[in-house]
Amino acid sequence: MDRFVVMRTFATVAHSTTFSGAATDLGISPSLVSRHVADLEKQVGVRLINRTPRSVTLTPAGLEYAAFAERILQEIEDADAQLTQSQGTAEGQLSIISPKWIGLMDLGTAIGAFVETHPRIRMRFELGGISDRPYDFLDRGFDVAFHARDPRDSRVRVRRITELPFVLAASPDYLRRRGTPEDIADLNSHELVAHSNDTAWRLGRGEDLSHFKVHDAVVTTNAYLVIEQLIESGRGIGLIPRLSAQRALTEGSLAEVLPHLPPQSRSLYAVHGPGGKTPERVKVFLDFMTDWFRRRQAG
């Protein structure tokens, strides 16, 4: 039988001095109380209680063990209470992992604002190393992992944070040299730079939605930052996150291509652990990031 269960029963018997009184306090039968005590005596190998028809008294070993059991049980209750309190308080260590390209969204500003708002939280934020297994981040000690697709896995919880718009872009210099595409078919005659996991571009909306498969890209890479650097230097046309490219678009070092066929946005998901109530430090972080992306895109 569970050691802590019989310890709790024994400690209750020590206080009430009768099996019936302990049974009432615990909400179980006197016979079960007797079995618990007998099982504990068997486990420790020592008689703990002297039984009489009307009462029970503790042996010297029983007195010593009762004090030990009460101390252990109190420590467990205190630890449980502390853990419950910490779950409901925005404090402690918070560990986040994210794909590198999400880091292009000026997340340093967001993280700085978050820890300023929640000074009792200590952040660990890592970019890269995201596994295809949606629950791998938990094994590696992270509280939250960002993903660009819904993992749809019952072993984790998923929250949609925002929609991330993309833009098809090139440098003005490249477009002057090679011409500006007028429709999707024109892309076949251009130099293209593509993400290795994103070579099927979905351009347009509704009835105007078109699919373009990138063939023979001049460069294929797994980093959107590299794509942005390449197309800004005039190496071709590429599909990149609009938030990271916004400054270059505003300053004119990048120009939007086929603006009448905007690329489909990608959802950004935050994946966190399963279980009961979401820890408060995780909840406030997810709320903060949802609001931060909303304000960033509105601005």
Residue found by looking up tokens 């066929």 in the block: 261
Are the CB atoms for 289 and 270 separated by under 8 Å? yes
Selecting from 3.40.50.300, 3.40.50.720, 3.40.190.10, 3.30.565.10, what CATH number does the domain 92-164+266-298 have?
Answer: 3.40.190.10
State both tokens at 71.
């101390």
pLDDT score, position 257: 97
Q: Per CATH, which fold does 166-256 belong to? A: D-Maltodextrin-Binding Protein; domain 2 (3.40.190)
Residue pLDDT, tens place only, 186-226: 999 999 999 998 999 999 988 889 999 999 999 999 889 89
Burial of 180 (0-12, 13-18, 19+ CB in 10 A): middle
pLDDT score, position 227: 95
Buried/exposed code over 209-241 (b: 16+ C-beta within 10 A; e: otherwise): eeebebeebeebbeebebbbebbbebbbbbbbb
Q: Which of 132-136, 167-171, 291-295 has the highest mean pLDDT?
A: 167-171
Q: Where are the domain boundaries for CATH 1.10.10.10 in the chain?
A: 3-87
Q: Where are the domain boundaries for CATH 3.40.190.290 in the chain?
A: 166-256
Spatial CB neighbours of 237, under 8 Å, sequence gap ≥ 6: 168, 169, 170, 174, 181, 187, 190, 191, 192, 193, 231, 257
Top pLDDT among 298 and 176 is at: 176
pLDDT at residue 84 tops 60: no
> Domain 3-87, what architecture?
Orthogonal Bundle (1.10)
